[in-house]
Structure 1
């Protein structure tokens, strides 16, 4: 009987010892998994101008034009840029066949000129644009990356762009954030000289 008691105590001790070892092993494995999960958590990054536009169906024509003009890399660069981005509806206002013609390889220079006419160096959010217009007697002229100028003004609280040909576009969505600048969606394609 004494032997059975001794064997029982030994068996119980072994069981407890192994059980505690398993608990430590589980704790260690759980800590390792948590450590790996912490490492795998990636800091959320704001997409650049091209990525933002590519992620929005309203800019699919603009994105196709940017790709055709080989401007995707430039507009994905450090910047900062302010882009007055025509929506698909803005491109649809152009005479029939204009977009298809501009997308042809032989018209790349013309397309590049039109697209860069919609871009300003620097990041100008809506409040800064409105302040500039207000502080300059209701009209503020900006120089585009293309080299031409666009006049900015206000109409019923909305920012209006007047292009070199006298055409106008209205900002319909302001301050779309990007890592390398800001996008303001416009309802009409503006044209350089």
Structure 2
């Protein structure tokens, strides 16, 4: 009986560990953030977004990146510093869940500038981007999916 409980305990721990993932692993698993993940790698931000955080990421989908003018993504992938500035503009320090986002008018990003948060009924926007899915929990924060890549002013 003890052996059964030990094996069951190990299986339960293994199942829990398999479900837990950081922001990068969660984005990879989702399958709709291939461009974002490639950009995070090119900008050298993988280690940061795998660190304890916590972080809140407003994550543009592949479709959001596809809205950018032709050649923009390719150009950014060749300019890690500019890319890093844009990507960190999508990240807020701390774990901000949807219930908290609706109480805010703005949030300071890791890049240093604020993003504007607008709530109208059930619609939430970050700058000009619609939040299309919220509260994707990660070990080191949360992801909110947006439909547009947001750009810092500077």
TM-score (norm: length of structure 1): 0.73
Give the superposed CA RMSD: 1.5
Tell me the equivalent position of 2:44: 70
More divergent stretch after superposition (142-151 vs 153-162): 153-162
**Aligned pair 1:192/2:152, yes or no?**
yes
Aligned partner of 2:116 among 148, 151, 154: 151
* Cα-to-partner distance string for 1:156-192 (whole Å, 9 max, x where unaligned): 4211111xxxxx1010001111011110000000000
1:149 deviates by 1.1
Give 1 or 2 for the bigger CA radius of gyration. Answer: 1
Aligned partner of 1:175 among 112, 131, 135: 135
* Cα-to-partner distance string for 1:117-155 (whole Å, 9 max, x where unaligned): 0000011100111123xxxxxxx1211000111110113
Aligned partner of 1:130 among 79, 91, 102: 102
More divergent stretch after superposition (82-91 vs 39-48): 39-48
Greater helix proportion: 1
Tell me the equivalent position of 1:142: 107
SS in 2 for 1:128: helix
Task: Give the paired residue count.
Answer: 149
Give the Cα separation in 2 of the matches to 1:161 and 1:38. Answer: 45
Higher relative contact order (CA 8 A, sep 6+): 2
* Cα-to-partner distance string for 1:72-92 (whole Å, 9 max, x where unaligned): 110011111100000001000
